[in-house]
Structure 1
Amino acid sequence: MPDQQKPAANATSASPPGAASALPVSAAQIEHAAALLDAGGLVAFPTETVYGLGGDAGNPDAVARIYAAKGRPANHPVIVHLAPQGDPNYWVEHLPAEAQRLIDAFWPGPLTLILKRAAHIHAAVSGGQDSVGLRCPSHPVAQALLEAFSALRSGHGGVAAPSANRFGHVSPTTAQHVRDEFGSAIHVLDGGASDVGIESTILDLSRGFPALLRPGHVTPQDIADVLGEAPRLPDGSDATAPRASGTLKAHYAPRTPLALLPFGELEPLLAVREAGERVALVARASRAGRWADAEGVYFVAAPEDPHAYARELYGLLRALDRANVTRILIEKLPDTIEWIALNDRLGRAAAAFEAQR
């Protein structure tokens, strides 16, 4: 992300809240989806990051249905999504001043805050922990749904929503991706393709200091600009960090074996392919060289811009699963802060196949 003098709070909003005429779904569809949530059912809905699989965050049975549908471990927490007018104080023991400053800067938007959970909030959304993850998405369809549902809960409705996919698989960024995962079993609100394309930044404020648990569109520098101090970065040594969505070593994986390596380490793998084998190569065009046109190599030119790369990543991985290739070889991205979120997602995807290399 280019350096910014001041974070843009609503940089990912597709249209302002309340712009009903601009919504790709009708008011009746929103009301029906809110009624499903009210009855304890599940609804997949778009956010600016990825599509979420939502259930009533105040209903442990609904949260259990999310876990069951995804095949998600019960101790892996989910994020509670709030309407723009929702009150985060209802969900937390205490809202620190630092949290309010971040909310003012980045909500609605792709930032999740981990805070101490209020005693009356069921531990189901937290994987049994004493913390809770909160965010307010900027996608207008998500906002309309959350507002409609919150109205049914006297202004205190929240929707627990991990990504709308089978646990550990590639996250969905379109309604069709959700249908590919669940068929007709899940009701889907179609709001078009997600603008950001990877999951929200997760920042822990539950222990008295800011700690980045999952990188995303909101960067460590963005956070430091607001707080006046840089968050601790994940390095595997923070044993007291709460569990958070999408932070397992292996995650976000396609079904086709994937390797993430510097380009110089990919070339030997390209050179020793078996006869007739077809592999996918995802790399910057400036690096691909002779492999871009090599027989048996399905070459995909990777975007040079991190935001464009993030927007395309999950759709690309799903497409490569359908491309009749035996392996996906991806060039490791630059080890800079602009690429930290993409290296995180690709590294976890590759970790699912490390033993196979």
Structure 2
Amino acid sequence: MLITKIYQPSEVKQAAKELTLGELIAFPTETVYGLGADATNEQAVKRVYLAKGRPSDNPLIVTVASREMVKQYTGELPEAAVKLMDKFWPGPLTMVFPIKDGSLPKAVTGGLKTAAFRCPANQLTRTLIAEAGVPLVGPSANSSGKPSPTTAQHVYHDLEGRIAGVLDDGPTSVGVESTILDMSSKQPTILRPGAVSPQEIAAVLGQEVISDKHHVGQNEVPKAPGMKYKHYAPAAQVLIVAQDKWDAALAWAKDHANSVGIMASPQVISRAPGLNTYDLGADVVTASQHLFAGLRYFDDQAEVKWILAPAYPEEGLGEAYMNRLKKAAGNQFFEA
């Protein structure tokens, strides 16, 4: 079994060296921690699937340090993409482009003629990529299907002994993964909602953005992560609680006190004395930052069989938050 090392920011060159040797290094972004491998090394990429237990037809995001690195695989970028990069890169926007034939391994693309690219806002990770000299695949650094990691400790919990190391830059600031925008189709299409909203993208492009194409059929190959398989799910059943259902939900939780975990705002938690709670903060921004950490908190408690979590309006960041929460819950809502 591998010894998994926690690398500090001052050790970024050592972490980059491991990547050039074909090893797996988890890295921080502003959204969640990613599991890095040299995107041009097919054997290293295949080890990512093995480490995560991830289906091999689920394509991987290619994480880059600059837009110039993207051009090595796509050629010249369309004007619309350049506008979006000017506005949102580095940041939580991933874009899907057609790529040059054979420029990236099939293990990265899922056999498609496109690939998804992202330049994260985290400076340490951009330095890591620059030091390695190659783009990195960057799926979330967790066991496949489980809540995404927002700290180095989450990564270590899931992948100790399976990867060479984790580059630790503290907790992530956004907490839900990047928006994925398909720029390879006639009309820009959101494949996964995230911190950059369809409205923000449309304002830059001056055209409508399709935003309801988040799933594919069982026999289709997805263009981006999160479109086909169950994601973000702890062992317990998550139940989504609408704002007007909290009185009933808390009464039910009191009757099942030992087996229910409550993720909620301080206002709700104040009405649940003696119950097992996790503070998500007062609004959808903090709830998004802490959603995965909260799911992981209760996932470590074998006695918890149900997790109550708050619904938010599906607008702006709320669309990304509810997308992740619905997947964690299997779309199950609390019913009084």
Equivalent residue for 2:261? 280
Q: Does structure 1 residue 336 correspond to structure 2 residue 315? A: yes
For the residue of structure 2 that corresponds to 1:87, the secondary structure is helix
Mapping 1:251-270, distance limit 5 Å: 251-265=231-245, 268=248, 270=250
Question: Once the two structures are superposed, what CA deviation does each residue of 1:201-227 show, in whole Å capped at 9, x if it has no partner?
Answer: 100011121001111111112111210
Cα distance in 1 for residues equivalent to 2:229 and 2:177: 16
**2:186 corresponds to which of 204, 208, 212:** 208
1:292 partner SS: coil
Is residue 170 of structure 1 aligned with residue 147 of structure 2? Answer: yes
Structure 2 CA distance for partners of 1:289 and 1:74, relative to 1, 3 Å: closer
Unaligned segments of structure 1, at least 5 residues: 1-22, 151-156
Calculate the TM-score normalised by the size of structure 2.
0.87
Distance 1:322 1:73 in 2: 24
Matched, 1:48 2:30: yes
Give the counterpart of 2:125 among 126, 142, 150: 142
Which of 305, 313, 321 in structure 2 is aligned with 1:326? 305
Change (3 A) 1:272 1:24: closer
Match of 1:76 among 58, 66, 86: 58
Describe the shift of the 1:90–1:275 C-alpha distance in structure 2 as closer, same or farther (beyond 3 A): closer
Q: CA 1:35 to 1:338, structure 2 compared with 1: closer, same or farther past 3 Å?
A: closer
The 1:149–1:352 alpha-carbon spacing in structure 2 relative to 1, beyond 3 Å, is farther
For residue 113 of structure 1, what is the aligned residue in structure 2?
Answer: 95
1:110-143 Cα shifts (integer Å, max 9, x gaps): 1100111211322221111111000111112101
Distance 2:322 2:115 in 1: 26
Q: Does 1:245 align with 2:225?
A: yes
The TM-score with structure 1 as length reference comes to: 0.82
Task: Tell me, yes or no, if the aligned pair for 2:231 and 2:328 is still in contact at 8 Å.
Answer: yes
Is structure 2 residue 208 aligned with structure 1 residue 230? Answer: yes
Q: Do 1:47 and 1:194's aligned partners in 2 also have CA atoms closer than 8 Å?
A: yes
Task: List aligned pairs for 1:77-116, cutoff 5 A.
Answer: 77-84=59-66, 86-92=68-74, 95-116=77-98
SS, match of residue 282 in structure 2:
coil
Equivalent residues, number = 322
The worse-fitting range, judged by mean Cα deviation, of 51-60 and 31-40 is: 31-40
| Cα distance in 2 between the residues matched to 1:31 and 1:290 | 47
Kept in 2: contact 1:256–1:321 (CA 8 A): yes
1:318 maps to amino acid: R
Q: CA deviation at 1:348?
A: 0.5
**Equivalent-residue separation in structure 2 for 1:226 and 1:108 (angstroms):** 16
Give unpaired runs (5+ residues) of structure 2.
1-6
Assess, with a 3 A threshold, how the Cα gap between structure 1 residues 94 and 242 changes in structure 2: closer, same or farther. Answer: farther
Which amino acid in the other structure matches residue 347 of structure 1? K
Identity among equivalent pairs (%) = 37
Q: 1:242 to 1:179 in 2, by over 3 A?
A: closer
Task: State how far apart, in whole Å, the 2-side matches of 1:222 and 1:343 are.
Answer: 18
Deviations 1:129-174 (A, max 9, x none): 1110001111121011011112xxxxxx211110100101011111
Contact 2:190 2:213 (8 Å CA) reproduced: no
Residues 352 and 38 from structure 1, CA distance in 2 versus in 1: closer, same or farther, beyond 3 angstroms?
Answer: farther
Greater CA drift, 259-268 or 179-188? 259-268
